[in-house]
């Protein structure tokens, strides 16, 4: 089975083959996937070595000449290490580009904090105008990559190894209504969906699925929430990253919000991604326990 990261790499290679205005910039990481396409297009596929701040600026510099760059490495080095390059290279220069950050919050569980980036979306979210893709399957990664490259704006794509069982179309600005109920609305972001569906299977909740979380689909959330909105937000990165947007959705009505996601504290534990998911309360048991407690303490008998 193709992993999400492999799906990204294969798609990026195909896009470089098909479109002479595309460029791919990387910094050693993922080089195992790019050797062939780099041989075919040595001027548009650029490995800058272990130079992440340069990588981001090179992407922006390519964009200044009219090319459409994909810039890719682990999210921790792409967004966190080189944040000012993102801010000034893309936003302040007002050029477009596609940043693809892999490894996310805990793909590299045994690697420790240096290779984990639960704050990537929150950081990107300090800048205006970025579409933020949080694809939940390898299929969605491919679709998000194609869609982002076909555009001209600024796109951040978060590629992680956790996957849902079912893929949904990638439609920026639109959340999917996966299940309808009369109780709270649970917004499952990216690869949390399968967990959320299992955790809430016998609860009377509406489940929305967001594989593009910026722009935020206020309209669908508002439409399904009813008169006294109760919202559970479940994000595979820093808890509460999208809370401000839920507050914006319901700025004029009293509402309740529970934000689940990755905690701020460093765990200083290794193990597997599943261990981290469970520790942050993002597994089936944790999500169910949090939702049930928040909705009044008792789940269905």
Partner 1 sequence: MTRSLDALTRTTGYDDLPGLMSLMTGDEKHSPAATSTLDVLWVLYDRVLRVSPDTVDDPSRDRFYLSKGHGPMAYYATLAAQGFFPVSWLPAWATWDSPLGHHPDRVLVPGVEISSGSLGHGLPLALGSALGLRAQDLDSRVVVLVGDAELDEGSNQEARELAGAWGLDRLTAVVIDNRSSTWNEPGLVARRFETEGWAVTTVDGRDHAQLEATLSRRVPGRPTAVVAQLEPK
Nearer to partner 1, 48 or 138 (CB): 48
Q: Residue 215, preceding bond cis, omega within 30 degrees?
A: yes
Question: Contacting partner 1 (CB under 8 A), which of 32, 39, 66, 251?
Answer: 66
Question: Contacting partner 1 (CB under 8 A), which of 1, 32, 39, 65?
Answer: 65
Measured in degrees and rounded to the nearest 5, phi and psi for residue 61 equal: -65, -40
Nearest in space to 218 (alpha carbons), one of 154, 175, 171: 175
Question: Contacting partner 1 (CB under 8 A), which of 7, 12, 23, 98?
Answer: 23
Nearest in space to 105 (alpha carbons), one of 207, 226, 236: 236
In this chain, which stretch among 39-47, 107-115, 143-151, 174-182 interacts with partner 1, using CB under 8 A? Answer: 39-47
Nearer to partner 1, 41 or 133 (CB): 41
In this chain, which stretch among 61-69, 145-153, 167-175, 241-249 interacts with partner 1, using CB under 8 A? Answer: 61-69
Nearest in space to 240 (alpha carbons), one of 121, 126, 137: 121
- What is the rounded distance in angstroms from the CA atom of residue 18 to the CA atom of residue 156? 21
Q: Burial code of 239-256, b = ≥16 C-beta within 10 A, e = fewer?
A: bbbbbebbeebbeeeeee
Q: Is 16 in the site for partner 1 (CB under 8 A)?
A: no
Residues 73-132 that bind partner 1 (CB under 8 A): 84-85, 88-89, 92-94
DSSP state of 12: H
Question: Contacting partner 1 (CB under 8 A), which of 5, 13, 30, 57?
Answer: 57
- What is the rounded distance in angstroms from the CA atom of residue 285 to the CA atom of residue 290? 9
Shortest gap between Cβ of 76 and partner 1 (angstroms)? 18
β-pairing verdict for 206-210 and 185-189: parallel
Shortest gap between Cβ of 66 and partner 1 (angstroms)? 6
Task: List, in sequence order, every beta strand (DSSP E) within 119-192.
Answer: 130-133, 154-159, 176-179, 185-189
Which residue(s) pair with 212 in the sheet? 133
Nearer to partner 1, 24 or 287 (CB): 24
Question: Contacting partner 1 (CB under 8 A), which of 7, 37, 62, 160?
Answer: 62
User: Where is 223: in which H helix or E strand?
Assistant: helix 218-225
Identify whether the C-beta of residue 151 lies closer than 8 Å to the C-beta of residue 129. Answer: no
Nearer to partner 1, 49 or 271 (CB): 49
- What is the rounded distance in angstroms from the CA atom of residue 290 to the CA atom of residue 261? 11
Q: Is 39 in the site for partner 1 (CB under 8 A)?
A: no
Q: Is 59 in the site for partner 1 (CB under 8 A)?
A: yes
Nearer to partner 1, 38 or 143 (CB): 38
- What is the rounded distance in angstroms from the CA atom of residue 196 to the CA atom of residue 188? 7
Question: Contacting partner 1 (CB under 8 A), which of 58, 100, 109, 121?
Answer: 58
Question: Contacting partner 1 (CB under 8 A), which of 31, 35, 40, 64?
Answer: 64
Nearer to partner 1, 84 or 248 (CB): 84
In this chain, which stretch among 65-73, 188-196, 218-226, 271-279 interacts with partner 1, using CB under 8 A? Answer: 65-73
- What is the rounded distance in angstroms from the CA atom of residue 180 to the CA atom of residue 190? 19
- Site residues (vs partner 1, CB under 8 A): 23, 25, 43-44, 46, 48-49, 51, 53-54, 57-67, 84-85, 88-89, 92-94
């Amino acid at each position: 089975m193709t992993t999400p990261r492999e799906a990204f790499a294969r798609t990026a290679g195909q896009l470089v083959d098909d479109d002479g205005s595309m460029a791919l910039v990387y910094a050693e990481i993922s080089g195992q996937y790019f050797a062939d396409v780099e041989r075919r297009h040595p001027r548009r596929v650029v490995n800058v070595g272990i130079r992440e701040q340069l990588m981001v600026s090179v992407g922006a510099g390519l964009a200044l000449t009219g090319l459409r760059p994909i810039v890719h490495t682990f999210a921790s080095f792409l967004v966190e290490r080189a944040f000012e390059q993102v801010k000034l290279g893309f936003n302040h220069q007002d050029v477009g580009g596609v940043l693809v950050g892999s490894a996310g919050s805990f793909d590299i569980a045994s690697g420790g904090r240096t290779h984990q980036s639960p704050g990537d979306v929150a950081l990107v979210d300090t800048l205006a105008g970025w579409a933020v893709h949080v694809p939940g399957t390898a299929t969605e990664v491919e679709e998000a990559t194609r869609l982002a490259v076909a555009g001209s704006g600024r796109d951040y794509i978060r590629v992680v190894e956790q996957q849902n069982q079912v893929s949904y179309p990638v439609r920026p600005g639109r959340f999917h209504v996966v299940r309808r109920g009369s109780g709270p609305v649970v917004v499952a972001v990216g690869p949390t969906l399968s967990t959320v569906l299992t955790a809430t299977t016998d609860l009377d909740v509406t489940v929305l699925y967001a594989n593009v979380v910026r722009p935020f689909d206020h309209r669908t959330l508002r439409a399904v929430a009813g008169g006294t909105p109760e919202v559970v937000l479940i994000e595979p990165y820093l808890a509460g990253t999208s809370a401000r947007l839920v507050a914006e959705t319901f700025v004029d009505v009293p509402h309740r919000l529970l934000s689940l996601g990755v905690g701020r504290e460093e765990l200083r534990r290794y193990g597997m991604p599943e261990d981290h998911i469970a520790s942050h309360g993002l597994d089936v048991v944790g999500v169910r326990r949090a939702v049930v407690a928040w909705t009044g303490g008792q789940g269905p008998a």
